[in-house]
Amino acid sequence: MNTLPILCDWLSRRLAPEGARWFAAARAEVSGGVDSARFCALFSLASRYAPRGPLALTGEELARAAAALPGWNPERWTTLEALRVALVLSRTDLAGPGAVDAVEELFRYADIGELCAGYKAIPHLPAPERFLWRMGEGARSSMRAVYEAACCDSPYPAKYFDAIAWRQAVIKALFVEAPLWRVSGVDTRLDAELARMALDLADERRSAGRPVNPELWMCLGAHGGARAVASLEVELRSGPTLGRAGAVLGLARAGERSRLAALQTAEKDARVLSTLDAALRGGCDSRAFAALDPNMAKVS
């Protein structure tokens, strides 16, 4: 579904009069056809007309987004990003053969904010699989904001990445400390190879005397076998609170219900215990890991 009318609707309620006037003129210019230099200039100039602050969508608006493009969650978009994505979508040649080059031109000269807006635009374009290489660049970035723009709150990676790119994108979230629970597909697109990569990473962290990211346990599902259970038990014995809570969720996702029931009687840590209670009631999908995300804790 075309998401441009939705973005325009949101922007009309949020842009100041000067910004709204500029946006109307820029949209008209883009839809009339502009050369690459002018398109890039408008993409840059948008920063002068839209606040960098959050778009701050209502629950109703978020529901409309998810209905239009399943997996799209713009709750962390800025007004400037919405404006820039709307400018891209205002091109009338996006289904044509020149679209990939035109969009790539934006990326070639982009600053950080433009990169993020560019990656957020791609899932909204016709035949988004044409932009697979570019999205892979985003997933390889160690600039956390760029990684998240490409991989989080978006249907794209799970839907279009091949197995190698998908697993790399998932593990990369742990390296850049992006919220893996926001990567759509981490509850469903799991396999034995991803579980092995995650378990190797846990071993590497422990050998170096470093903590294991609690979200790492999301990567296992029921694919880790005995090695996974052993690694989860190590975390339960010796990890910090959040790591132990993550390990509880890992056990639940592996189907180790009887082990969880046994833990329930012995657990002393209230935080771990509440995670455990919820997990036994079925709460062990990626949303349960959101509670272990330090950034979410900081916000709440």
171 forms part of the interface with other proteins (CB under 8 A):
no
Name which of 70 and 294 has its Cβ closer to other proteins: 294
Minimum CB–partner distance for residue 173 and other proteins (Å): 12
Three-state DSSP at 78 gives strand
Q: Which residues contact 196 (CB under 8 A, 6 or more apart)?
A: 224
297 forms part of the interface with other proteins (CB under 8 A):
no
The single residue among 5, 28, 48, 261 that binds other proteins, judged by CB under 8 A, is 48
Binding part of the chain for other proteins, among 24-32, 109-117, 150-158, 278-286 by CB under 8 A, reads 109-117
Tell me, what amino acid is at 94?
Answer: L
83 forms part of the interface with other proteins (CB under 8 A):
no
- State which H helix or E strand residue 30 sits in: helix 17-31
Three-state DSSP at 11 gives helix
Binding part of the chain for other proteins, among 60-68, 106-114, 234-242, 253-261 by CB under 8 A, reads 106-114
Q: Which residue has the tokens 């230099």?
A: 37
CA distance 120 to 72: 10
75 forms part of the interface with other proteins (CB under 8 A):
no
User: In a 10 Å sphere around its CB, with 0-12 CB exposed, 13-18 middle and 19+ buried, how is residue 137 labelled?
Assistant: middle
Residues binding other proteins: number (CB under 8 A): 22
Name which of 238 and 295 has its Cβ closer to other proteins: 295
Specify the DSSP class assigned to residue 222: T
- By CB under 8 A, name the binding residues for other proteins: 37, 40-41, 44-45, 47-48, 108-109, 111-114, 140-146, 176-177
